[in-house]
Chains A and B, each alone.
Chain A
Amino acid sequence: MSEEVLAILMMWTFIFIYSIFGSIDFGAGFWAMIYNNHKTMAGRIANRFLSPTWEITNTFLVLLVVAFVGFFPKGAYTLGTVMLVPVSLILFLLAIRSAFMVFSYSVQGYRRTMFIISGISGLLIPSLLIAVLPISQGGFIAVDGDTQSLLLSKLLTSPTLYLYVLFGLTSELYLSSLFLADYARVSKKEDAYRLYRSNAILLGPLTLLAALFTLLFITPESRWLIDNLMDHKIWFILSLIAFLIAYASLWWPKQNRPGIGRPRLTLLATVLQYGLASVGYGLAHLPYIVYPDLTIYEAFTAPETFYSLMIMYIVGLAILAPGFYIFWRLFLKDKRYLQQE
């Protein structure tokens, strides 16, 4: 494996991890707004998960940016130039959301505002984030000499963008429903579990439909991607199988006890489903970062920098691992935290 391919593999891994955690994070914000004061406590459960974790998820977003600059500086140059407006909007929304998350913890009067801000930005931010995919597939960047710019009006009038957004949002809500269903089950809140489960039952097929439509209505400039995707269809077939297992397990009986569904299994199989599809998409996207102007080979960093970054990732993750373990024990496993009223 060449250094460039290793670097893009790391990048895709980070993007994948963030898209899972980001979906759960923003989705939980949305559900906390919808089920605020709901009798099942579904909203409170979403918020209980969100309070201690959003900051870690936010750090992961910064990690994505930093890793991209370090691995593919030329890519940072191109995307930094063309993404000025959409990314600035993301930053703006993110700042308001983060601030209110913290403020509402200190002063109760801000709770309602926080739920609304976090719920709405929980839909807007992911919609803006996913716009980077259609842009990277080509057709939305004008090159004039050595200046590049985003064709904003072309992007905003393109159905591809909206189908991607639809796919992103349904996936976000599906994943967060599944996660919260599992979280509710661990918290022994069976009513909230059933609520999130029924959301997931509705959303699951919608994500598949959205994905299908996204591919069907792809722009002519992105035809190259479809051809490549066809070469890697095995990953999508495996992904579909994972989906079917996940979806079916929503009806499997609970081990040894009455109750329906195995949310932990559903969640893991769904993560696997998205992981397999991401591998297929990532392979098809090679060697381009932005089609057709920028490949991973042109954008790659200095090799010496690449190796010291790799070493530091290993060292850093090894040092942080116990911290993440303690965190997981305290907020995702500890019954004293989960089962409070």
Chain B
Amino acid sequence: MDTVVLARAFFGTSLGFHIIFATLGVGLPLMIVIAEIIHQVKGDNDYAIMAKRWTKAFAVLLGVAIPSGTIVGVQLSLLWPGFMEIVGKVISLPFQIEIFAFFLEALFMSIYVYAADRLPRYFRLISVFFVALGAVASAILISAVNTWMNTPDGFKIKPDGTIYDVSPWDAFFNPSFLSSSFHVAITAYMTGAFAVASVAAFKLLKKRPERERAYHLKGLFMSLTVALLMSFVSAVSGHHSAQILHQHSPEKLAAAEGLFETQRYAPLAIGGYTDPKTEEVKYGIEIPWALSWLAAGKFDTEVKGLYEFPRETWPPFYVHTLFNLMVGIGTLLLGLAAVALAYWWFFVKRRGKPFPKWLLWSLVLSGPLSMLGIEFGWVFSCSGRQPWTIYRVQTTAEAATKNEDLGVLFLLFLGLYALLSVLTVLILTAYFKRNPVSKDMEKLQS
């Protein structure tokens, strides 16, 4: 592998690993805040138990989210020094503000975890609110840098690479910032909710005492409600992001849809793969006119095809598959949450029937699927921008380090990520095995 490919593989792995923990790190605090609020309003202790147990899981996940985030942040300078030189001049503002969000989260997380017994109840709620705020603000601010890479703004560049006329706030609020960062935050909430739903559904698969079953049903209902809402909002915001692609990164949209000829009344290709020989989508389902309508709300919208652009700036063809997987998972989960809640309303609540096994098993899969959707989305966003690191400003090859020692380090970090993944699973299972929900319930009664 040459250095650029190796650097991409290395950084992609670090980011892909971090995203799992970062996403849950944004999603879970929202669930904790909601549980704490319901507890304070309704006085139902089950919600206090939920908040406590999710905080425990969140704290363990944070033990990996923090170091992996530190790794990603520093590796940017190690693997992409050319990129960071431009970033430093133009878009360092969100990075810097993100540090403050990070401080906010770290301060109040320590307070919530290590000083909970010395704090009045309302202050615990404030602490966990700040943790949630810090987490989502971090996600939005970091995404700001990524959106700027897709739609760079706020500076001018001379042919020799000199950067001038910088306006940091314009770079921050670049054309895709609001829509894409919002999408990142909402899908993290969606994934956090589905992750909780997965666990609750899994617990309901086995026969349990009525008291525990009621507890898990409450958790499932609450998480599914949040999941349905967030899935719907993320579908709408994803649609908006696609329209921004149409305006600002037409080759990315063309590659996502496998569209080669520029046309009005463009069809939407679902599924299949882009055949590099014949340059068309094979085995996909075509919905006539749909792409034009999705791109700008009108059937006669002209959508640019790949032939419009020089071949060396085409994104890789596999982004069509990634795009389909991301959208497909999102749609599937939206439907699943709706079906599960409808079932709950008509059969579980009104007639006291239990959830059927097939539905519970589907719900168990929802959390991991949602996470996969996010991973596909990130890979789509970043490989769909190729060959650029900063769209039409800097290629990935120009951004990468010239250092050739990457191979051994890559292996070292692969080992680290494997170790941390295994330990996280071991620790979560060990903790929750030793502290089952029944124990928390007893503790509360005594």
Contact = CB atoms under 8 A, between A and B. Distances in A.
Interface of A: 51-53, 55-56, 58-59, 61-63, 65-67, 69-74, 76-81, 83-85, 87-88, 91-92, 94-99, 101-103, 105-107, 109-110, 147, 149, 301-302, 304-305, 308-309, 312-313, 316, 319-320, 323-324, 326-327, 330-331, 334, 336-337
Nearest to B126: A326
Interface stretch (B64-72, B191-199, B265-273): B64-72
Interface stretch (B29-37, B110-118, B217-225, B312-320): B110-118
- Which 5 A-B pairs give the minimum distances between C-beta atoms? A102-B63, A73-B88, A70-B92, A95-B67, A80-B77
Contacts of A301: 88-89, 92
B41 interface: no
Nearest to B57: A106
Nearest to B87: A69
Interface in B297-347: none
A73 B76 CA distance: 12
Interface stretch (B233-241, B249-257, B348-356, B397-405): B397-405
B71 A110 contact: no
A330 B111 contact: yes
Interface of B: 56, 59-60, 62-64, 66-71, 73-75, 77-78, 81-82, 84-90, 92-93, 95-100, 102-104, 106-111, 113-115, 118, 130, 155, 163-164, 166-169, 401-403, 405-406, 409, 412-413, 416, 419-420, 423, 427, 430-431
Nearest to B75: A91
Contact of B110 (A53, A71, A95, A316): A53
Contacts of A309: 92-93, 96, 168
Given A65-B73, A305-B168, A309-B93, A76 B63 contact: no
B352 to A, nearest CB: 37
Contact of B63 (A56, A99, A324, A336): A99
Interface centre among B71, B84, B93, B419 (most CB of A within 10 A): B84
Nearest to B98: A66
A106 B60 contact: yes
Given A62-B102, A87-B74, A95-B71, A102 B166 contact: no
B92 A69 contact: yes
Interface centre among A103, A319, A320 (most CB of B within 10 A): A103
Contacts of B93: 70, 305, 308-309, 312
Contact of A103 (B63, B71, B86): B63
Given A59-B99, A330-B111, A102 B92 contact: no
Given A84-B401, A103-B427, A320 B103 contact: yes
Secondary structure dominating the interface of B: helix
A59 B102 contact: yes
Contacts of B66: 55, 58, 98, 102
A66 B416 contact: no
B427 A110 contact: yes
Given A51-B114, A337-B115, A107 B431 contact: yes
A80 B409 contact: no
Contacts of B70: 58, 61-62, 91, 94-95, 98
Contacts of B67: 58, 91, 94-99
B96 A92 contact: no
9 contacts: A53-B110, A84-B78, A102-B64, A107-B431, A305-B88, A305-B166, A312-B96, A312-B97, A334-B115
A214 to B, nearest CB: 27
Nearest to A90: B74
A320 B107 contact: yes
Interface centre among A92, A94, A98, A102 (most CB of B within 10 A): A102
Nearest to B404: A149
Contacts of B108: 323
A98 B89 CA distance: 31
A302 B85 CA distance: 11
B96 A67 contact: yes
Contact of A59 (B78, B97, B106): B106
Given A76-B85, A103-B60, A330 B115 contact: yes
A70 B88 contact: yes
Contact of B89 (A62, A149, A302, A319): A302
Given A61-B70, A72-B88, A84-B403, 12 more contacts: A58-B67, A69-B77, A81-B401, A91-B67, A96-B416, A96-B419, A99-B63, A99-B420, A149-B403, A302-B89, A326-B107, A334-B115
A51 to B, nearest CB: 6
B427 A62 contact: no
A50 to B, nearest CB: 11
B60 to A, nearest CB: 5
Contacts of A308: 93, 168-169
A44 to B, nearest CB: 14
B414 to A, nearest CB: 11
Contacts of B420: 95, 99
Nearest to B72: A91
Contacts of B64: 99, 102
A85 B74 contact: no
A79 B77 CA distance: 8
A56 B107 contact: yes
Interface centre among B74, B110, B430 (most CB of A within 10 A): B74
Contact of A84 (B63, B84, B164, B405): B405
A81 B92 CA distance: 19
B100 A316 contact: yes
B110 A52 contact: yes
A320 B102 CA distance: 11
A326 B427 contact: no
A58 B109 CA distance: 14
A260 B6 CA distance: 59
A216 B66 CA distance: 40
A293 to B, nearest CB: 14
A300 to B, nearest CB: 9
A67 B73 CA distance: 12
Contacts of B107: 56, 320, 323-324, 326-327
A91 B423 CA distance: 18
A120 to B, nearest CB: 16
Contacts of A92: 412-413, 416
A21 B110 CA distance: 17
B430 A107 contact: yes
A319 B137 CA distance: 14
A24 to B, nearest CB: 16
Contacts of B403: 81, 84, 149
